Structures are given as structure tokens and as C-alpha cells.
Amino acid sequence: MIYALLADITVLVHSLFVLFVVFGGVAVLYRRRLIWFHLPAVLWGGSIEIAGWICPLTYLENYFRRLGGETGYRGTFIEQYLEPILYPVGMTLHSHIVLGFAVFSLNFLMYLYLWRHGRKG
């Protein structure tokens, strides 16, 4: 039971990290010091997607699931939890690359806005 709870907490932390990677640029607009956390998170999250790597948090979740008697899953966190929502037909390598570049592009635009706005103010 404790291992299932640890696996679920890992999923929650992983989900929050993904949200921070994608939307953390908005938080940086209001709390500029968050840039020191957000920028490395974007580099990590985008690189994971583009390279097709599996995040260590996925391994940790599967480890807890197996210890709790459940079955883990193959593939990435995105494929397991977000693919059914975003890509019901299936996620290809091309989709991972597009998603990774979308993360970089969205955050680049946020930081560009922040840089221009900061210079004017």
C-alpha cells in the first residue's frame, strides 16, 4: 500500500514538473528569481522529449509500482499519461521532437517578452 502511494506521489511530482516546464515562463514574469529553476527545467524537459529519453521519475514510479505488486509500464511518462489525451492514435518519434521544440519555442517567446519588457521598464 505504501508503495502504491509513493508511486502516485511520484506521478503527482512528475505532473507538476511537466506543468512547470511548459507554463513556468508565466510564473517567471511575476517572480523573476524563478528563472534559475525554470530555465534548467525547460532545458531538461525539452531535451528529454527531443532525444526520446525516459525521465528518471518514470523509472522511480515503475520501481514503486513493482514493489507494491503492480505492473509498471514501458515507455515514457508522456506516453503513459498524456498520450491518450493528446495523441489518441499513437505518439511517434516525430511527435516527441515536435513536442520538445514546442516547449522550447513557447518558453523562448516568454523569455523574449520578459527580456523586452524588462529593458523598457
The pLDDT tens digits of the residues spanning 24-83 come to 988 888 888 999 999 999 999 989 888 888 889 888 988 998 898 887 777 766 667 765
Confidence bin at 121 (pLDDT 50/70/90): very low
String of DSSP letters for 37-64: HHHHHHHHHHHHHHHT---HHHHHHHHH
The cell for 78 is 508522456
Q: What pLDDT is recorded for position 85?
A: 61
Query: What's the predicted TM-score (pTM) here?
Result: 0.73
Indicate the average pLDDT of the chain: 83
Confidence bin at 90 (pLDDT 50/70/90): low
Q: What pLDDT is recorded for position 49?
A: 81
String of DSSP letters for 71-116: ---SS-HIIIIIHHHH-TT---HHHHHHHHHHHHHHHHHHHHHHHH
